[in-house]
Structure 1
């Protein structure tokens, strides 16, 4: 399933903010240990809310015409990267935020549970 994660440039992080669920589309990178890496602004609500919290991260692709697709959900603990050497390694890896973070931070999500689903058109539900 990790190979599917590498196919999509955008995912959705699901976390808790003020005791309510929050979902945010983000670009990401898959690290060498299969952790999800996000690069964002230190001032973002998401960065403040996810540090050391269990989050879900969902990635999918669908072909509406063919009625096919897939979805992968990674659940794990999110951590703000504070080690200077690790921050430099991630910065040098090429992972970029699609926004221009004023003060950047890196967030990793270590996969603890990975689930997925493939959708195939079986013809069911189509008029004969």
Structure 2
């Protein structure tokens, strides 16, 4: 595992469209899969009126609930890839122009009218890349050693 810097983590996050928003519901952790876009450093998801997610942003424009957003791209065969977590306050998007821009760029995956958007302003961005292990240096006859012979003994030495 190799840690990712903030800029690289946000770049990777912007390259995928599906993630999971993590929040508190009735004093318990809750997770919802959602599609997203990255706007600058903010993560934006669209929500419908009355949704639990819509209640996370404060209605007066002040920061709402603290949430986490996680997305990843990990190959199930090689186990290589990356994972990013953004943690910050949820804000309801109020500007009509921004809502229209997000509606044009972010199509819902569910068959419900999405009338609102939630912006997560990251206070903390963490991530890691899963890379292949580096091969250990080869030993044995290619290194002048006899298989099974104690290290440091030259071939043919008694």
TM range, smaller chain: 0.7 to 0.9
Note if 1:59 corresponds to 2:71.
yes
Contact kept, 8 Å, 1:43 with 1:103, in 2: the verdict is no
User: What do you get for the CA RMSD once the two structures are aligned?
Assistant: 1.8
**Aligned equivalents of 1:67 and 1:45: distance in 2?**
33
**Aligned equivalents of 2:85 and 2:76: distance in 1?**
20
SS in 1 for 2:102: helix
**Aligned equivalents of 1:9 and 1:88: distance in 2?**
18
Q: TM-score of the superposition, structure 2-length normalised?
A: 0.70
Highest CA radius of gyration, 1 or 2? 2
Shift of 1:53: 0.7
Note if 1:40 corresponds to 2:51.
no
Shift of 1:43: 1.8
**1:107 corresponds to which residue?**
118
Shift of 1:83: 2.6
Q: TM-score of the superposition, structure 1-length normalised?
A: 0.85
Q: Mark the runs of 5 or more structure 1 residues left unpaired by the alignment.
A: none
